[in-house]
């Protein structure tokens, strides 16, 4: 995250800091979504999904008639990307590995949500088992991934 703070055109928010009481300001969140062309959802891989407050954010903010359904095209053309970290090695996230599926397969429900809301789902950034020795390089790789233009 610190690597992205070096880029003044990137706006960073922490839902757990913002909504310690879990009472999400839906209008504020929807307005923020309208302001930006690319939204990066960064979270630790949490039981093969996102943390509970982010799930609540999806449920509260991506409402019928605003994000999907009749008249719900406010996110059309918006790019969404997931950035996540796992506590396990990359080899554990593949067919036949300890976790049986790839991270991308586990992220399908979020991808489906973004597509249903007319957004464009970009390739995810995943850092497997990051530790102090590789964090600096992973941070640079992360920033490059987030800032790269959409392919094709």
Q: What percent of the chain has pLDDT over 90?
A: 60
Residue 43: which H helix or E strand, with range?
Answer: strand 38-44
Residue with tokens 């995810």: 124
Residue 55 has pLDDT above 90, yes or no: yes
DSSP-H helix ranges across 9-134:
15-18, 26-35, 52-61, 103-106, 108-116
Q: What is the pLDDT of residues 6-33, one digit of tens each?
A: 777 888 899 999 999 999 999 999 999 9
- 138 contacts 127 by C-beta, under 8 angstroms: yes
Distance of CA 65 to the CA centre of its chain: 22
Q: Give residue 67's pLDDT.
A: 98
Apex 147 CA angle, 146 and 150, nearest 5: 85
Q: Give residue 73's pLDDT.
A: 96
Nearest to 73 by CA among 119, 108, 112: 119
Q: Which domains does the chain have, with CATH numbers?
A: 4-8+19-100+107-147 (3.40.50.360)
**How many Å is the maximal CA-CA distance in the chain?**
50
- Under the banding of pLDDT at 50, 70 and 90, the label for residue 146 is confident
Q: What is the DSSP code string of 119-134? A: -EEPPPEEEES--TTT
Distance CA 121, CA 38 (A): 10
């Amino acid at each position: 995250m610190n690597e992205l703070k070096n880029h003044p055109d990137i706006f960073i928010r922490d839902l757990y800091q913002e909504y310690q009481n879990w009472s999400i300001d839906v209008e504020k969140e929807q307005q923020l979504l309208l302001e930006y062309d690319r939204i990066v959802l960064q979270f630790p891989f949490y039981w093969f999904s996102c943390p509970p407050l982010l799930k609540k954010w999806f449920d509260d903010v991506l409402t019928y008639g605003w994000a999907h359904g009749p008249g719900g095209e406010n996110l059309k053309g918006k790019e969404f990307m997931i950035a996540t970290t796992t506590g396990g090695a990359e080899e554990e996230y593949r067919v036949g590995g300890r976790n049986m599926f790839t991270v991308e397969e586990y992220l399908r429900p979020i991808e489906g949500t973004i597509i249903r809301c007319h957004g464009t789902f970009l390739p995810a950034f995943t850092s497997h088992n990051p530790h102090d020795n590789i964090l600096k390089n992973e941070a640079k790789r992360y920033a490059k991934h987030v800032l790269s233009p959409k392919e094709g």
